[in-house]
Amino acid sequence: MRNALKTFLRAAVVALLAVVIVAPTAHAEVRIDITRGRVEPMPIAVPSFPGNNDEMKQMGKDVADVIAKDLERSGLFRPLDQKAFLQELSSLDVQPRFADWRTLAAQALVQGSVEQQPNGQIRIAFRLWDVFGGQQMEGKGYGTDAGNWRRVAHMIADLIYSTITGESGYFDTRIVYIAESGPAINRVKRLAIMDQDGANHRYLTDGSALVLTPRFSPTGPEITYLSYFRNVPRVYLFNIDTGRQEVLGDFPGMTYAPRFAPDGNGVTFAAALNGNSDIYTMDLRSRRMTRLTDNPGIDTSPCFSPKGDQVAFASDRGGTQQIYVMNADGTNPQRISFGTGKGRYGTPVWSPRGDLIAFTRYATSDGNFYIGVMKPDGSGERLLAQGFLVEAPTWSPNGRVLMYFAQSPNGGRAKLFSIDLTGYNQREIVTPQDASDPAWSPLSP
């Protein structure tokens, strides 16, 4: 058994080296360019991974299912119906009969296996094949506890995605959001977390305090959010792994609209004093606070650039709420949102790639809300989603997908949606209850 795996691993390493050597050709062939708008999804075959006992066989079925669903939801892949498959790949060492897979028009094939090890651990391994070229594009094995099989499946899906698109993936991630229940005039709101595919859903707070606007740390298992605990709205930090909570700083008024600095060592937020909101940052190590704005307008919704050298924020200092960008020390604030007609812009969120800022826009001309993106200098504005109320964009860690929530009129349903940066592939993210204020985690470490 061990020897066989060693052989496999060696083969995988050799195969990986081989991929590196042939990559320029292979990559140019089986490739999806996701920057180019609407893409015809690539047909891909993801047969159930064979297992070395009944339990592993079931797990192999589930792993393949998670991978296929991840790839399908991206809008870039079309997993083929398993019933049509002509060849059973009973182990990782069986050579695919590429002619059989070609007749199904599969462009890529995922071959895998799940094995229980003598020490109780499991090993999940896969190869990604270019069906038409008959070449292995990628291959890898993962040794882990059986309980981690879903994460491994997401990691494999990420590797398939990145091999074929040339972009990093976003499947091994989580979503923290606000779960809503009860009547609209007295809504119960709870912090909730789930995998990006909806699995492993759990509530983090019990609903006794109103909670809003959670945001993930870019570096650790931590979130920052607003809680009305004891009827005092304050920014809190919450460690997801330990459950430990702490209030951020000691301010005389409300603190709100928090977001982490890109290095995870600071938080920027708004603080209101005597009716005036300004923007602050706090260093989480020294607890030193810096005031970034001092303006009679409402300054709120601050968000660092990924480099940490600038902060985008919303302000009504010019009369209506617009987006501004300033240096991280608060100097040189410049308005960047103008738009056509009378639009109000809020909740700027910098893309992890740094090239775009997502925003919420309210158009007084038609009374609708929009989710859109613009460059950090305000040029190139594009609107991606529209609705009676759409709000709170959050980026996938690769900067290719946005999630947001949409609320129906008259106190109707609130739901999460995702949409590609291209404006295509809008999907509902199904949650057990109504949902708002989503925040996407970075790729899990």
Closer to other proteins by Cβ: residue 172 or 381: 381
Closer to other proteins by Cβ: residue 198 or 423: 423
Closer to other proteins by Cβ: residue 17 or 184: 184
Give min distance, CB of 95 to other proteins, in A: 16
Closer to other proteins by Cβ: residue 31 or 150: 31
Give min distance, CB of 26 to other proteins, in A: 9
Give min distance, CB of 263 to other proteins, in A: 23
Closer to other proteins by Cβ: residue 43 or 354: 43
**Strand partners for 178:** 191, 436
Question: Residue 8: which H helix or E strand, with range?
Answer: helix 2-29
CA dist., res. 406 & res. 391, Å (int): 7
Closest residue by Cα to residue 79 from 87, 68, 89: 68
Are 183 and 194 within 8 A, CB to CB?
Answer: no
Give min distance, CB of 230 to other proteins, in A: 11
Are 124 and 152 within 8 A, CB to CB?
Answer: yes
Are 187 and 407 within 8 A, CB to CB?
Answer: no
Q: What's the one-letter identity of residue 133?
A: G
Closer to other proteins by Cβ: residue 170 or 362: 362
Closer to other proteins by Cβ: residue 18 or 298: 298
**DSSP class per residue in 397-439:** TTSSEEEEEEE-TTT--EEEEEEETTS---EEE--SSEEEEEE
Closer to other proteins by Cβ: residue 265 or 320: 320
What are the tokens at 184? Answer: 């609209």
Give min distance, CB of 216 to other proteins, in A: 17
Give min distance, CB of 346 to other proteins, in A: 4
Closer to other proteins by Cβ: residue 308 or 411: 411
Torsion angle (degrees, nearest 10) of CA 71, 74, 75, 80: 10
Give min distance, CB of 347 to other proteins, in A: 5
Closer to other proteins by Cβ: residue 152 or 325: 325
Between helix 149-165 and helix 54-73 the angle, nearest 10°, is 40
SS (H, E, C) 340-354: CCCEEEEEEEECCCC
Strands, DSSP E only, in 173-307?
174-181, 188-195, 202-203, 211-216, 222-227, 234-239, 245-247, 255-260, 266-273, 276-283, 289-291, 299-304
Strands 368-374 and 382-387: antiparallel
Closer to other proteins by Cβ: residue 59 or 210: 210
Give min distance, CB of 5 to other proteins, in A: 31
Give min distance, CB of 235 to other proteins, in A: 11
Give min distance, CB of 107 to other proteins, in A: 6
Give min distance, CB of 45 to other proteins, in A: 15
Are 374 and 380 within 8 A, CB to CB?
Answer: yes
Q: Integer distance in angstroms from the first to the last C-alpha of the chain?
A: 29
Are 73 and 403 within 8 A, CB to CB?
Answer: no
Closest residue by Cα to residue 66 from 110, 104, 8: 110
Tell me phi and psi for residue 234, to 5 degrees: -140, 155
